[in-house]
Amino acid sequence: MNRKTNRPLLKIGVLGSGKGSNCQSIIDAIAAGTLNAEIVCVISDVENAFILERARKHGIFAQFMSAAPFKTKLEADAEKKYIDTLKLHGAEVVVLAGFMRIIKKGMLSTFSRRILNIHPALLPAFPGVESWKQALDYGAKFTGCTVHLVDEGTDTGPIIIQRVVPVLDNDTPETLHARIQVEEHIAYPEALRLIAAGRLSFDGRRAKIEMD
């Protein structure tokens, strides 16, 4: 329970496959007292992913859970294990933070409209992988990041928050991605803050944000 707001802490389960800088931004927002939430578990499909180390460093339950044999899918057996672990830890919201597998029906219906993803582009432009490179190759002048609800499509769910990043003439894929990540680290905690405060609702696909 948060003493200032009287609202219970939002319980977040994080899934990630990589370095976990977005997870870190959520950990930092909680530690700074700007996000009324608790990360109850971090699960990774990559055994040595740095996201696990980050979580453990902060005393958060962190577990590698194999999702083999496929590279991009979470097959039924693995999906069940993931759901069971998230439930066991009381996750109310599932945050995908660089999780490189497609979420299927089972998990979508268990956490209906409570799975969030962050995408490194201004959706619906440049869905899929290496979106910063797609934006650069396309010649876009602006790109950014999007926090959205996960649905059955790839990067197609209702948009919660977007932040814009200009593409500079001398950008490389690496420099552009790095600047997008700076905005991601603001956008993800902000989206979760809206949910934790009960200020986010949807009218069809359109996110409605209640004033603070």
The nearest distance, CB 13 to ligand GRF, in angstroms, is 15
- By CB under 6 A, residue 22 contacts ligand GRF: yes
Residues 106 and 23: beta-carbon distance below 8 Å: no
Q: Which is nearer to ligand GRF, 88 or 102 (CB)?
A: 102
Q: Which of 89, 119, 177, 185 is catalytic?
A: 119
Q: Is 89 a catalytic residue?
A: no
Q: Any contact of residue 97 with ligand GRF (CB under 6 A)?
A: yes
Contacts of 54 (CB under 8 A, 6+ apart): 20, 23, 24, 27, 42
Please name the residues in contact with 191: beta carbons below 8 A apart, sequence gap of 6 or more. Answer: 116, 147, 160, 161, 200
Of 79, 155, 171, 184, the one binding ligand GRF (CB under 6 A) is: 184
User: Does 171 contact ligand GRF by CB under 6 A?
Assistant: no
Give, as ranges, the residues between 100 and 159 that touch ligand GRF (CB under 6 A): 118-120
Footprint (CB under 6 A) of ligand GRF, residues 24-83: none
> Which residue number has the CB closest to ligand GRF?
98
- Sequence-separated (6 or more) residues with CB below 8 Å from residue 126: 134, 135, 138, 140, 143
Q: Where are the beta strands (DSSP E) in 45-167?
A: 62-64, 93-96, 115-119, 142-149, 159-166
Count the neighbouring beta carbons within 10 Å of the beta carbon of residue 123.
20
For residue 117, the minimal CB distance to ligand GRF (Å) is 7
Q: Which residue has the tokens 């010649």?
A: 139
Judged by CB under 6 A, the residue of 2, 9, 18, 186 near ligand GRF is: 18
Residues that bind ligand GRF in the complex, under the rule CB under 6 A: 16, 18-22, 97-98, 118-120, 181, 184
